[in-house]
A and B are shown apart, each in its own frame.
Chain A
Amino acid sequence: MRTISASEITKAVAKAAIQANYYLGEDIFGALRQGRTTEESPLGREVLGQLIDNACIARDQDMPICQDTGLAVVFMEIGQDVHIADGSLEAAVDAGVAKGYTEGYLRKSAVDDPVFVRKNTGDNTPAILHVSIVPGDKIKIVLAPKGFGSENMSALKMFPPAAGVAGIKKFALDTVDAAGSNPCPPIVIGMGIGGTMEKAALLAKKALIRPISVRNANPDYAKLEEEILSLVNKTGVGPQGLGGTVTALAVNIEYYPTHIAGMPVAININCHATRHAEIEI
């Protein structure tokens, strides 16, 4: 049994919140650069150039890439041989979010109740926390800030199995088309297929933290990722929706066994600022 204090978790979460918001991943940088060479629209190429410049300014000056520093989505893998001392896990994570968002000059975008009062909580808490217990004696924290320009364009549909690949492709295409310029294209598309309703949604979110340069290990799903990417890049939406051939940088799919009667499909849209930071304790 290894003891990890709650304050260590708080420190790690704070650090991850700042890192994720300031420093765009190399996989996204690479895809933006690649996009700038393949984009057919001159205005689209200019927009992609602005996004590359923006990420460089953010990195060099320690500033948020985007002003929407998001809700703090936290995935934690806790080793089953870890004992957390001196406080509760949830409180430690929330304290880390508050610390990171305050000390990092990040925007506080959380409101307390979603319908009536909508009062800003002031420190971007609570986190959206997903915990899994794994073998070992370590804690892995992945913090993925999620902006809502793109989150609002996400969708979930419970398909009958007969809908098949054609149904999935049409759903992805319709979702990207309807989103158009709103989610700040070029977008990254996270898809969760299978499980139950909430499992599919969670898989779609998890898909967004896989590097976009890595395809699904299952060749059938890897092929589906490529085919959907090629399809959505024919919509003409283009960078910022101003028209062009680079609407999405990647499609990441995660899948899970499901019921004999169903095929849940969740699509989580992310903007080009597909951000995450990982810390292991």
Chain B
Amino acid sequence: MAEPIRIKTPLDEAAARNLKAGDSVLITGVIYTARDAAHKRMVEALDRGESLPVDIRDQIIYYVGPCPPKPGQPIGSAGPTTSYRMDAYTPRMLAEGLRGMIGKGYRSAEVVAAMQKHGAVYFAATGGAAALIARTVKAYEIVAYPDLASEALAKMTVEDFPAIVVIDSEGRNYYQEGQKQYRRL
């Protein structure tokens, strides 16, 4: 395994275009969390001509609905959720300047095309490694839609958050490449 690449947020287009499918990364800095319910509200706000609750230009959104923290913890277990549920909203978010997404699982052709167009990257975190990932979370603060509870839009400060580039800004897909190597049917 190659040494992981350390990246800091915000992530500009040049840095995003530099990342290649299959790269292991450790992410440090502020990222935002949102799932489908928060995405729906953000896209509806854009449709009404309003601005988003946070400036997402060059930012990374982590698809997660964490467990509540125990006293003294910044957050409870916090692994990635399945990304395709955000696909309907993602091209719009990428057009607004979103630079990266962390989740798990496949993305639609529309999302990949929008990533190529805008120079964005899709990272996979290990689904189910929620207690391990929570250790890299240093702070968590809800910034919008508090009624969505675990699904609210939140600001998360992470240190050395482990992920893999699964779809890069050229549309290379590491899921496809990896699986092809081991398929024996």
B116 within 8 A of A: no
Once the chains are docked, how many angstroms separate the CA of A68 from the CA of B174?
A: 25
A47 within 8 A of B: yes
Given contacts A42-B1, A67-B77, A67-B78, contact A242 B130 (CB under 8 A): no
Once the chains are docked, how many angstroms separate the CA of A152 from the CA of B126?
A: 18
Once the chains are docked, how many angstroms separate the CA of A120 from the CA of B77?
A: 19
Interface residues of B (CB under 8 A from A): 1, 37, 64-70, 76-79, 81-82, 84, 104-106, 124, 126-132, 134-135, 148-151, 162, 164, 166, 174-175, 177-185
Please state if A54 and B182 are interface contacts (CB–CB under 8 Å). no
Q: Which of A50, A54, A242 contacts B175 (CB 8 A)?
A: A242
Q: Which of B82, B127, B179 contacts A243 (CB 8 A)?
A: B179
Please state if B131 and A61 are interface contacts (CB–CB under 8 Å). yes
Contacts of B84 in A (CB 8 A): 182
A2-10, A104-112, A154-162, A199-207 - interface stretch: A104-112
Q: How many A-B residue pairs have CB under 8 A?
A: 164
A222 within 8 A of B: no
Q: Which of A58, A67, A241 contacts B66 (CB 8 A)?
A: A67
Interface residues of A (CB under 8 A from B): 40-43, 46-47, 50-51, 53-55, 57-58, 61, 63-69, 105-109, 118, 120, 122, 149, 152, 173, 180-184, 231, 234-238, 240-245, 271-273
Q: Which of B77, B126, B135 contacts A64 (CB 8 A)?
A: B77
Q: Which of B81, B162, B180 contacts A236 (CB 8 A)?
A: B180
Please state if A63 and B178 are interface contacts (CB–CB under 8 Å). no
Q: Nearest Cβ in chain B — how far from A4, in angstroms?
A: 31
Please state if A182 and B128 are interface contacts (CB–CB under 8 Å). no
Q: Which of B1, B82, B162 contacts A149 (CB 8 A)?
A: B82
Contacts of B127 in A (CB 8 A): 66, 149, 184, 240, 271
